[in-house]
Chain A
Amino acid sequence: MIVPVRCFTCGAVIGDKWYTFAERVKKGENPGKVLDDLGVKRYCCRRMFLSHVELIDNILKYEVATIEEE
């Protein structure tokens, strides 16, 4: 749904780095290099970024529809 606050395995904070990561990868940068830049070293934290799907934006679309109907 929304990016987790911490890494499931080690507990390091990852939530604050997600939007920079997503933006840079969307622009075509190599995800591995972006993670190195952000200082995400351990592979437990790296998979949090690589496997995350930000679904909340899709759900928010339907929220707009209901608001506009009212």
Chain B
Amino acid sequence: MINVDPSIKILKKEGEDIEFLLENVTPAFANSFRRALLSEVPILAIDEVVFLENTSVLFDEVIAHRLGMIPLKIDPKIYEVLKECYFEGKRDDCVMLFTLEVEAVDRPITVTSGQLKFQGSLSQFPVNIDFTIEPVSKNIPIVKLERGQKIVLEAYAKMGVGREHAKWQPVTSPGYKYMPIIEILKEECKNNECQRCVEVCPRNVLAITNGKITVTDLYQCSLCRACEEECPDIIRIKWDSSKFIFKISNLGVLPIEMILDTALEVLTVKSHSFVRELEKLISG
């Protein structure tokens, strides 16, 4: 039974990638957190496309699917409003309109996501803030046009969750592992023999300094136990099942902190409603 408060400690943050330590939780919680991150955080994605003209080599459906897969960067200022739209079941009230009109006149061209034009929200927003929504990258190819081909379309972006379709996933697959514990039973052993356990490690976690085996980068250990297999009398690999190292790479749709926050919020709401249902059952 875990009676200490769970905590998150950020280990590394490089660009859109984040690595953090989740402490004092059960494996079940760590997994539900991972699943909530993938499938319960609502974001925007193009869901309906009206084609006015398409003489390109790709079918309407293929282009519509490609448009849907383009991640849209949401202005953090309006995320609260959009989130409410989704959770209150009014997703049709928060629809964003994009248009695309490209014609290849004298040379073949590649239509990219940067050519999508944001035309604002279809309905009146409760708050009067200026905001823009744009693709996370301007260079995602949508279709290639040969001279004389033309594409004109309207695309409607709606809020949704990854549970429904992968295009609404706010992050790429998040992964986690147990916190490794490397026990060194005998620090000193004959140097030339000992080099073996250092060399066998695929992540270069171990090193020999001053004739002693030392752990240089514990977080890199993947618990493969190759070193333990090599020298079973010297090294023992264990893990702490209440600590987890999470690795998430963000798509750039929202700041990672907001995604983590929303995932936890959704988990809280879900477990509260589960407890309420249980109480109803007990009281008859």
Enumerate chain A interface residues (CB-CB to B < 8 A): 1-7, 9-13, 15-16, 18-19, 56-57, 59-60, 63-64, 67
Shortest CB-to-CB span from A63 to chain B, Å, is: 4
B residues adjacent to A (C-beta < 8 A): 57-58, 62, 66, 69-71, 108, 110, 113, 136-141, 143-144, 146-149, 166, 169, 172-173, 249, 251
The number of A-B residue pairs with CB atoms under 8 Å apart is 64
In the complex, which residues of chain B have a beta carbon less than 8 angstroms from the beta carbon of A13?
A: 70-71, 136-137, 140, 251
Question: With contacts A5-B69, A60-B57, A63-B149 known, is A10 near B173, CB below 8 A?
Answer: yes
Determine if B172 and A56 form an interchain contact, defined as CB atoms under 8 angstroms apart. Answer: no
A60, B108: Cβ atoms under 8 Å? yes
CB distance from A62 to the nearest CB of B (A): 9
Q: Which residues of A contact B66 (CB under 8 A)?
A: 2, 5
Chain B residues within an 8 Å CB radius of A9? 173
Top-6 shortest CB links A-B: A16-B139, A5-B69, A63-B146, A16-B137, A10-B172, A10-B173
**Which residues of the partner chain A approach B136 to less than 8 Å between Cβ atoms?**
13
B147 contacts A67, CB within 8 Å? Answer: yes
B141 touches A15 (CB 8 A): yes
Given A1-B58, A13-B70, A19-B139, 10 extra CB contacts under 8 A: A5-B66, A5-B140, A10-B172, A12-B251, A16-B139, A60-B144, A60-B146, A63-B149, A64-B147, A67-B147
| Cα of A34 to Cα of B28 in the assembled complex, Å | 39
Offer 6 A-B interface pairs, CB within 8 angstroms, sorted by A: A2-B144, A11-B173, A12-B249, A15-B141, A60-B57, A67-B147
Which residues of B have CB within 8 Å of A57?
144
Q: How far is the CA of A67 from the CA of B284 in the complex (A)?
A: 74
